[in-house]
Amino acid sequence: MTTKDFIDQAIGKMVYVTGDRDLAMCGEFRKIIFNKTELRLIKWTRGGLAYLHDEAENKYYAVPPSNVREVGN
């Protein structure tokens, strides 16, 4: 399964963000990475990023899709 296929089938589901590559160095994402905050996957953007929504804090994030994992898998 390619990353795009994974994102397409996971839209609307709960996911979490991993700290792969340099994403963990970004202060904005550190909290959601280390706490494994559950986020809702909204869509695949034109720029090739996964668009996520933190329902608890009502914040939106755009991250590389290779850093997204489905909750429970």
Between 41 and 23, where is the model more confident?
41
Kindly tell me if the per-residue pLDDT of 34 is higher than 80: yes
Distance between CA atoms of residues 68 and 19, nearest Å: 9
Coil, strand, or helix at residue 34? helix
Kindly tell me if the per-residue pLDDT of 1 is higher than 90: no
- Under the banding of pLDDT at 50, 70 and 90, the label for residue 24 is low
- Under the banding of pLDDT at 50, 70 and 90, the label for residue 12 is very high
AA identity, residue 45: T
